[in-house]
Amino acid sequence: MKKFLLNQLPSALLLSSLLISTAYATDLLSAYHDAVAYDAQFAAARAALNAGREKLPQGRAGLLPSIGLTGNTAWNDTRTTPRATGVDSNAKYNANGWTVSLSQPLFRWQNWVGYNQAELAVTLAEAQFVQARQDLILRVAQSYFDVLLAQDALATAQGQKTAIAEQLAAAKRSFEVGTTTITDTNEAQSRYDLIIAQEIAAQNDLAVKQETLRTVIGKAPGTLENLRPGTTLLSPQPNDIAAWVTLAETANPGVASAQAAFEIAVREIEKQRAGHLPTLDLVASHGKSSVGTEGAPTFGGLDNRSNSIGLQLSIPIYAGGATTSRDREAVALKEKAAADLDNARRQATLAARQSYLGVNAGLSQVTAFEAALISSQSSLDSNKLGYDVGVRINIDVLNAQSQLYATQQSLSKARLDTLLALLRLKSAAGSLSEQDVQAVNALLQ
């Protein structure tokens, strides 16, 4: 019966290809590569990483000299009337000049703290990008597995429809020859009508799941590679929940992001308190100015050149309380960052524990469903034999068939859920990468 279920997959996929005409065959790894190139959330995370890396040169700029060039020009028209003579004199002239100035910070403690914050900002951006990549892997795997489960559900419904149709035909023949009552026929007809409704629902669910996957990978998925029959799933290594919790508390990218944010907040206090400290800069300038005249023969114009170099000391005295207020604000934000860090560690620990327990529970479920599948097949065979010799009725066979198909579908779901729980466990521990996608992909055919 399991082979019969697998044989129904092509018809289910043919139906889905009618719903999405541009379908193509793919596996989990190729779907992930497509998502890396297409997914909008991951593209936003990549842009955020590039933006975050620019914090470092911005912070370094506060330690380096700044050079500026200024220029000016003005046209003047002045009329002068001495009181003694009463004779007007008119002067028209252009005044222009330029200055190159340089300022090199010698002591600006807030700039040094800002540079340290910039380094931490890069660390924060990189940790957030790692988190985004792991989230992408999980979203691709979840969407991919959802399509596989929807395909299995449709194949199960179609397999049940075929089996029930055969049982319905047999019940009608038996009723015609008088060996059974109309009850068997009505029961089989009821089951057949019900499975038709379930098949329609399964077709719709498959189309929805395919559309969800397409929004992630940018292509309409067609035939997806499924788990090989009889695939053996291994326990997580190390097989120790405490070890995974420890990894989650230290290596989880969410924790790393919160840790970097906390360090930035700590340095922000130091940066704001540096507003009370004096600053010392080296300043230098070189410039030229010119003044020319028209209509004043006694004054032919002037050209001036100037050079200067020196130290500039600035001592803050009072800024209306703004510096002290920003200090208190920074302290409060540091406390918030500390609480966020604690929450991130707790969430990472919870995710690691839940995923670890999910993997182990999934492995146990897979073993139980494998045994139940054998039992369900034996039960169906026995009920069919009992029906043939007259000791079982049609409803017994239909129930046994439903139980077998339900067990097959539950086994498939348990396997995929276990793999997804393993990926989530590695994500909680901060070790989920493309190599894990490749490992899962090797289990497909």
Q: What is the pLDDT of residue 86?
A: 64
Q: What is the pLDDT of residue 222?
A: 77
Q: What is the pLDDT of residue 20?
A: 40
Angle 190-194-197 from CA coordinates, rounded to 5°:
150
Q: Which of 354, 332, 352, 356 is nearest to 254 (CA)?
A: 352
Helix (H, G, I), strand (E, B) or coil at 180: coil
Query: Is the model more confident about 76 or about 252?
Result: 252
Residue 113 has pLDDT above 80, yes or no: yes
Q: What is the pLDDT of residue 393?
A: 66
Q: Under a CB-based contact definition with an 8 Å cutoff, are residues 172 and 60 in contact?
A: no
DSSP 184-252: HHHHHHHHHHHHHHHHHHHHHHHHHHHHHHHHHHSS-EEEE--BPTTPPPPPPSS--HHHHHHHHHHH-
Question: Going by DSSP bridges, is the β-strand pair 221-224/302-314 parallel, antiparallel, or unpaired?
Answer: unpaired
Q: Look up residue 296 and give its amino acid.
A: A
Is residue 15 very low, low, confident or very high in pLDDT (cuts 50, 70, 90)?
Answer: very low
Q: What is the mean pLDDT of the chain?
A: 87
Angstrom CA distances, 353 to 245, 335, 421, 431, stand at: 7, 27, 11, 15
Tens of pLDDT along 376-385? Answer: 888 888 888 8
Residue 298, judged by CB atoms within 10 A of its CB (0-12, 13-18, 19+), counts as exposed
Q: What is the pLDDT of residue 260?
A: 96
Helix (H, G, I), strand (E, B) or coil at 102: strand
DSSP 444: B
Outline where DSSP puts E strands in 292-336.
302-314
Q: What is the pLDDT of residue 293?
A: 63
DSSP 409-429: HHHHHHHHHHHHHHHHHHHHT
Outline where DSSP puts E strands in 264-400.
279-291, 302-314
Q: Which uninterrupted H or E stretch holds 119? A: helix 109-177
Question: Going by DSSP bridges, is the β-strand pair 24-26/221-224 parallel, antiparallel, or unpaired?
Answer: parallel
Tens of pLDDT along 279-312? Answer: 999 999 999 998 876 644 445 578 899 999 999 9
Candidate from 289-298, 336-345, 399-408, 424-433 with smallest mean pLDDT? 289-298
Is residue 270 very low, low, confident or very high in pLDDT (cuts 50, 70, 90)?
Answer: very high
439 phi-psi bin (left φ>0, alpha ψ -120 to 50, beta other)? alpha
Q: What is the pLDDT of residue 360?
A: 94
Q: What is the pLDDT of residue 1?
A: 36
Rounded to the nearest 5°, which phi and psi values hold at 321? 90, 0
Residue 417 has pLDDT above 90, yes or no: yes
Q: Under a CB-based contact definition with an 8 Å cutoff, are residues 393 and 93 in contact?
A: no
Structure tokens that stand for 152 in this block: 């299995």
Residue 369, judged by CB atoms within 10 A of its CB (0-12, 13-18, 19+), counts as buried
Tens of pLDDT along 192-219? Answer: 888 899 899 999 999 999 999 999 999 8
Q: What is the pLDDT of residue 396?
A: 78
- Within 10 A of 233 (CB to CB), how many other CB atoms are there? 16
Q: What is the pLDDT of residue 87?
A: 67
CATH number of 2-69+90-441: 1.20.1600.10
Is residue 7 very low, low, confident or very high in pLDDT (cuts 50, 70, 90)?
Answer: very low
DSSP 128-165: HHHHHHHHHHHHHHHHHHHHHHHHHHHHHHHHHHHHHH
DSSP 74: E
State how far the Cα of 268 lies from the Cα of 335, in Å rounded to an integer. 12
Residue 6 has pLDDT above 70, yes or no: no
Residue 367 has pLDDT above 70, yes or no: yes
Q: What is the pLDDT of residue 257?
A: 96
Mean pLDDT of 128-152: 95
State how far the Cα of 209 lies from the Cα of 186, in Å rounded to an integer. 35
Tens of pLDDT along 93-103? Answer: 888 999 999 99
Structure tokens that stand for 76 in this block: 């003047």
Q: What is the pLDDT of residue 231?
A: 83
Residue 19 has pLDDT above 80, yes or no: no
Q: What is the pLDDT of residue 94?
A: 87
Tens of pLDDT along 114-135? Answer: 999 999 999 999 999 999 999 9
Whether the bond into 238 is cis, omega within 30 of 0: yes
Q: What is the pLDDT of residue 99?
A: 96
State how far the Cα of 412 lies from the Cα of 383, in Å rounded to an integer. 24
Residue 11 has pLDDT above 70, yes or no: no
